[in-house]
Amino acid sequence: MGQKTLNYTIVKAISLILFLVCTASIHAQNSTSDKDKKKEDIVEFPLYNGLTVSADIYGLGAKVFGSDFLSSEIAVEANLKNRFFPIVEIGYGTTDAWSERGTHYKSSAPYFRIGMNYNTMYKKGNPNFLYLGFRYGYTSFSYDAVSTPAEDPIFEGNMENPSLTDNIWGGSVAFDHKGLKASMGWLELVVGIRTKVYKDFYMGWSLRYKRSMNTSLNEYGDPWYVPGYGEYDSNRFGLTYSLIYKLPF
């Protein structure tokens, strides 16, 4: 898991840099436009301006580049006054990974998020915009955590994994826990950009800061991976890259 996690971190860092470059580019374009106009025309929008559906492909691409996690999700978003964008995201996350110490962790489950985006450039009527938002996410899942037995070189047969040691009592600690149940809710703060590609097709990036809110964990140990959230004890930031289509109604 260690090397894969490092590769995944590098990919996230590169994606973050690209995200910031795109954001700066949009701001620069709009700043230039503002200077050219002596008076900005404010566009009035009706309450309802349609629905969009989107699919996040970052979770799929990250797996290709070495992540231990695989996730995919779709979202439905409404446009109200071109200013407020209530959104529902539904996805599925899974992992089946081995650590360098011989621990096998496996989990898969659906998750959902609900929240709102706010278009910071709603007065301009520009199809490309920067938005801020929030999400509340939740998942209920099960997971397996198993230590691998090692072959005894002297007496043959299997013995407890010698790389898993008890820091208090010493010796090797073996475990075989399957079907452990847990649930978790979390809050996400979001900043993102959306760009029109062709007609009713868009693409967008978002950067998310995550914070666990309420958890129900198993007595045998915390989960390593939480579907929709990431690593339980270390994940704080996430990225999405979405392909978006505006429905014709």
Q: Which fold has domain 2-246?
A: Porin (2.40.160)
- The residue with greater pLDDT, 10 or 240, is 240
Note whether 144 and 179 are within 8 A (CB): yes
pLDDT at 173 over 70: no
Structural tokens at position 90 = 């539904």
pLDDT value, residue 38: 46
Split at pLDDT 50, 70, 90, the class of 15 is low
Judged on CB neighbours under 10 Å (0-12, 13-18, 19+), 199 is exposed
Helices (H), the chain: 2-36, 58-64
Note whether 185 and 210 are within 8 A (CB): no
Overall average pLDDT of the 153-166 stretch: 52
DSSP 221: B
Listed in sequence order, the residues at least 6 apart from 249 whose beta carbon sits closer than 8 Å to its beta carbon are 50, 51
Cα 177 to Cα 154: distance, rounded to the nearest angstrom = 28
pLDDT at 81 over 90: yes
Question: What pLDDT digit, counting tens, does each position of 30-79 carry?
Answer: 555 554 554 455 678 899 999 999 999 999 888 888 889 999 999 999 99
Beta bridge partners of 51: 78
pLDDT value, residue 5: 54
Question: What single letter denotes the amino acid at residue 119?
Answer: N
Residues of the chain with pLDDT > 90, as a percent, come to 51
pTM: 0.77
Average pLDDT of the chain to the nearest whole number: 82
- The residue with greater pLDDT, 91 or 99, is 91
Q: Which of 239, 249, 137, 224 is nearest to 188 (CA)?
A: 137
